[in-house]
Each structure stands twice: as C-alpha cells, then as structure tokens.
C-alpha cells in the first residue's frame, strides 16, 4: 500500500529528518529540537509510526515516574536495491534503509555486452534476492547504481564512457522504472565507493579522496563533506590525465600517455607479458606479486608512483586529509600504496601532507554496494523523496 506523505500532517517530513540518523529520541527531545508543541510532536510521531518510517525503541532512563518512550528510524520499513556494475563484474544487493546488506549476488559480467543485457541481469538478480528474503517489488524504496564511467547525475545517463560502448546517453533510470516504478539513482562507481568508504570508515572526515585502481582508474572526491561531481559529472576522471613517463603509450580512449595506459590492471598485465610472464588479467598480476615475483612487484610499485605523481596535483588542488586506495588492484598489498606514498610525500608541499593519511580501503569490495545503497536511501528518505510518496510494504 502506498503512503502519500503530501497528505500527512504538515511538518511530518521535517520531523522525520531529525530521526533518520537512527539515534533514539523522546517526544520531549523532539519538541525541544523543533520548538514545536508536545501535542504537535505527538501527532506527527503517530503519523510517522503509521507510515512505518519510525518505531519505538528501548525506553529512556526514567527521572521519576514512567520512563518516556523513544523513537528512531525503522530500517526494516523498506529495502533498497543496490548495484555495482564494473567493467568485468557486477554485484547486486538488497539492503535495509540503514545500509545493512540483507542479501547479495555477484558474478563476472562484461559491461561491453550493453545496457539492456546488463540491466536485465541486474533486474532478474534483484528479483531473485527479494524473493529469497520473502519481499516483493512493493517493498523497494529506491534503486542505487554505480557504473564505470562519467554520469550526468541529474538524468542518470552515462556520458561518453570510455570503457562502456553502447551506453552513451542510455536512460538507465527509465529502463529500470519500466519494471520497477521507484526512484533510480545512478552515479559513477568511484563516487559511490567514496560515499560508502567515508560513511563506514571515515564518518568524521570532510575531505577525502577515494582512488579506485582496477580495469580503469578513477577518483571520488569528497570536499567540505559533500561529494563533488563537477559541472558535467566527470570530476575525478583521473585515469585519462597524461603522465610524462607514458608519452608514447596508446590508451583505449584514443589519446597517449594516460594514467590508465600505464597503471591500470590491463596495462600491468601487458607489461608483464612483454617480459615473458603469464599475465592476462589483474588477478594474474596479483598472484604474481603474492608469489614474490620481482618483476611484478617492481611493475606494481612503479604503477603506484605514477598514480602518486598525478595525485600530487590533487593534493595541491583540494588538500584532502585522507586518500583511500581501493579497487581490485589494491589487493596486491603494500607495494602499490608504497609507490603512491613515495611520490606524494616526496613531491607535495609539507603543509599539505603533514597530516595526510594514505591508506587502503577499509570496506574493500563492499565500498560500491554500500555507497549505492546510501545513494538510494538518502534520496528515498529525503524531504523530496518522501514528498514523492513513501510506500510501505
């Protein structure tokens, strides 16, 4: 049954915004925070409970008499469908409104198969996960998706994605909404990884740079506590910045000397094959490093230096307090990040690096799914999302 919040008592959505952080509050605390009369707060709390958005939690400590009741976000009120579409893999998950993963499925999937094939897989896999949880489509509040290319965030359409042939300007939200009429939020995969990493591992950090090193290389930029997408949604597209060492190396984008052409997984595998090693993928490179192969270790360390060289510019421009290295190639251990640190700490100004932490991703392979879930839930629970109608299954 759909609940139209526009018919709820005035101010319900505003009161809910105080409660959606999950912290329990009493009616008295809500009245103090909002300046509303207790009778008005009581009416709005009752309405939010009727909608299923909040629920009673353990009573507060009594100061005499009956303990006052507390209320908080009800994460189980609805679920979110979250998807991480990579260049060669895809993951779909169902989470609650607080971002806890309830069910998840991953498998190899080539993004070059095109949007209809990939999105059909996403939708069918999502249906299977929902069924396994005893849920149906009516329980889904929103869908969040990360894709490996620039996205026009206002429309959810990829824009000239270098490694996504056939996806340019494809209406991802429109295609999915033909099957599931709920809000669909789409963003670059590195942006959602930055969101997931920050919320999970660095919630108090307002200036964070998440660098994904995998089939491609990209960055998600959080500055002033806000994800920065840029004018056309391509902020953080560092993989196609020219690196001096690779001036003559061709890149898949058509240019030469791009960072991806030197330091991404396919580039590293190609370099090692040229030395007679059996390396055809990023996983092969990782295995060679783990076995202690000197040529593989040196190649990865140099890739880290190349990435670090480019990041010195970012350090000067946006002055992050944390740089997180993630993506599949982060699994090589300390060798990649050591190269990054070497370049950044050597070439950047001391003031910018005095308190700069360069670390591995704490969320690892979960970063994108957590970020996609957050992207969808944040919208679904926002005043705008609630005003569109929050359906309670």
Return the pLDDT at 297. Answer: 97
**CATH says 77-193+368-391 is which class?**
alpha beta
Our separate counts of H helices and E strands in the chain read 14, 17
For residue 315, the number of C-alpha atoms closer than 13 Å in the C-beta half-sphere is: 28
Spatial neighbors of 48 by CB under 8 A, at least 6 apart, are 12, 15, 16, 19, 54, 71
Structure tokens at 383: 């005043």
Q: Where in the chain is the domain with CATH 3.30.420.40?
A: 77-193+368-391, 203-363
Task: Look at 104 and 215; give whichever has higher pLDDT.
Answer: 104
Element (H, E) at 14: helix 12-19
**Burial zone of 42 (CB within 10 Å; 0-12 exposed, 13-18 middle, 19+ buried):** middle
pLDDT tens digits, residue range 357-388? 999 999 998 999 999 999 999 898 888 887 77
Among residues 200, 192, 189, the alpha carbon closest in space to that of 227 is found at 192
Return the pLDDT at 246. Answer: 83
Q: Which of 16-20, 330-334, 384-388 has the highest mean pLDDT?
A: 330-334
CATH 1.10.3720.10 fits 2-73, yes or no: no
Rounded CA-CA distance 68/47 in Å is 18
Mean predicted confidence (pLDDT) in 206-211:
97
**CATH says 203-363 is which class?**
alpha beta
Q: Where in the chain is the domain with CATH 1.10.10.10?
A: 2-73
Task: Look at 47 and 221; give whichever has higher pLDDT.
Answer: 221
pLDDT value at 65 more than 80: no
């Amino acid at each position: 049954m759909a609940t139209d919040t526009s018919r709820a008592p005035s101010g319900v959505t505003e009161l809910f915004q105080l409660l959606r952080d999950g912290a329990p509050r009493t009616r008295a605390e809500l009245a103090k925070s909002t300046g509303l009369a207790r009778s008005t707060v009581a009416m709005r709390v009752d309405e939010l409970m009727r909608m299923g958005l909040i629920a009673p939690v353990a009573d507060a400590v009594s100061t005499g008499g009956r303990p006052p009741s507390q209320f908080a976000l009800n994460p189980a009120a609805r679920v979110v469908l979250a998807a991480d579409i990579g260049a060669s893999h895809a993951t779909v998950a169902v989470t609650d409104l607080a971002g806890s993963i309830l069910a998840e499925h991953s498998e190899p999937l080539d993004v070059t198969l095109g949007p209809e094939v990939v999105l059909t897989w996403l939708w069918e896999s999502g249906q299977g996960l929902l069924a396994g949880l005893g849920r149906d489509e009516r329980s889904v509040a929103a869908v969040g998706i990360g894709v490996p290319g620039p996205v026009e965030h206002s429309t959810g359409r990829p824009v000239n994605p270098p490694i996504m042939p056939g996806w340019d300007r494809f209406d991802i939200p429109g295609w999915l909404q033909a099957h599931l009429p709920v809000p669909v939020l789409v963003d670059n995969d590195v942006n959602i990884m930055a969101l997931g990493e920050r919320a999970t591992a660095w919630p108090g950090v307002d200036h964070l740079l998440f660098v994904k090193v995998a089939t491609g290389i990209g960055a998600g930029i959080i500055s002033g506590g806000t994800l920065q997408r840029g004018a056309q949604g391509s902020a953080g597209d560092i993989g196609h910045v020219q690196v001096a060492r690779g001036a003559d190396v061709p890149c898949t984008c058509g240019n030469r000397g791009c960072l991806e052409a030197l330091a991404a997984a396919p580039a590293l595998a190609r370099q090692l094959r040229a030395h007679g090693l059996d390396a055809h993928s990023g996983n092969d490179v990782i295995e060679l490093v783990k076995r202690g192969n000197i040529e593989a270790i040196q190649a990865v360390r140099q890739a880290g230096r190349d990435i670090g060289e480019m990041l010195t510019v970012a350090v000067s421009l946006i002055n992050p307090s944390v740089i997180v290295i993630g993506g599949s190639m982060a699994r090589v251990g300390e060798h990649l990040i050591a190269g990054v640190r070497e370049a950044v700490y050597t070439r950047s100004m001391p003031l910018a690096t005095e308190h700069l932490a360069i670390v591995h991703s704490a969320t690892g392979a979960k970063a994108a799914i957590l970020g996609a879930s957050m992207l969808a839930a944040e919208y679904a629970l926002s005043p705008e999302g609630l005003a569109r109608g929050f359906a309670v299954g």
